[in-house]
Amino acid sequence: MTTARFDLTGKVALITGGSRGLGRAMTLGFAEAGADVAIASRKIDACEATAEEVRRLGRQASAHACHVGNWSDLDRLVDDVYARFGRIDILVNNAGLSPVAASSLETSEDLFDKVFAVNLKGPFRLTALVAARMAAGGGGSVINISSTGSIRPSPDIAPYAAAKAGLNTITVAMAHEFGPTVRVNCIMAGPFHTDISKAWSRSEGFTQHARRAFALGRAGEPDEIVGAAIYLASDAASFTSGAILRVDGGLP
């Protein structure tokens, strides 16, 4: 009975940024839990490779080239996934952009706009598109992937932190807008070892900092986000909406 509550068999998940890092881990984790998965990112080859991994797990998969900062891309993405699978039961807004800036003064308008487009504007629009269809149908679950940077900002990531703080905010707003049949939640992720972060997450300086500052004394591995994501996607979280769940190794 308990295991059945986490079962995603027969569900269709759309995961942005689903071909690498945390997105790939969630894609494969959802497939192992029984879901079919639509994988979206800017690089179609990477999406196709991950889709093939999903198929080897016995589930259906589709690959979609999409820039989440472009609303026209999102309209097309949703139409394509519905044409392929007939529905979306789970949406994971995972695609992100986190460049480091030397200073606020040296942050260009173009960089600022790109950071907000990918981390906030895109998830806002994609959630509106998908959750509206979910609410008109049988309901569903939306999971936003935020960052502990949203509550522990540093100067070099100020636009990124602000965008993720906005993502926290729209999580709560949209939970109320699209409830009671659509649940909207957020995972506030701490530092994870991914191909993007490995330059600093495995550095001696960060390792020493983590040992002192984090309850678990380390950064996470990508598959360590999967349990939280499956919980929020599944019937096990049937009374959870508008929640922001920290998965950060015990950030103080």
Q: Residue 184, SS3?
A: strand
- Residue 212 has, within 13 A of its CA and on its CB side, a CA count of 6
Task: State the catalytic residue, choosing from 30, 85, 116, 160.
Answer: 160
> Starting at the edge strand that comes first in sequence, how are the strands of the sheet with 140-147 ordered?
61-65, 36-41, 12-16, 90-93, 140-147, 182-189, 244-247
Q: Which residue's structure tokens are 């919980």?
A: 231
Of the candidates 194, 229, 16, 242, the residue with the CA atom closest to the CA atom of residue 119:
16
Query: 143 with 185: CB under 8 angstroms?
Result: yes
Residue 243 makes CB contacts below 8 A (sequence gap 6+) with: 185, 186, 232
Mark whether 160 is an active-site residue. yes
Residue 204 makes CB contacts below 8 A (sequence gap 6+) with: none
What is the distance between the alpha carbons of residues 112 and 53, in angstroms, rounded to a whole number?
35
How far, in whole angstroms, is CA 128 from its chain's centroid? 15
CA angle (94 as vertex; 91, 100 as ends), nearest 5:
160
Question: Which residues have a catalytic role annotated?
Answer: 160
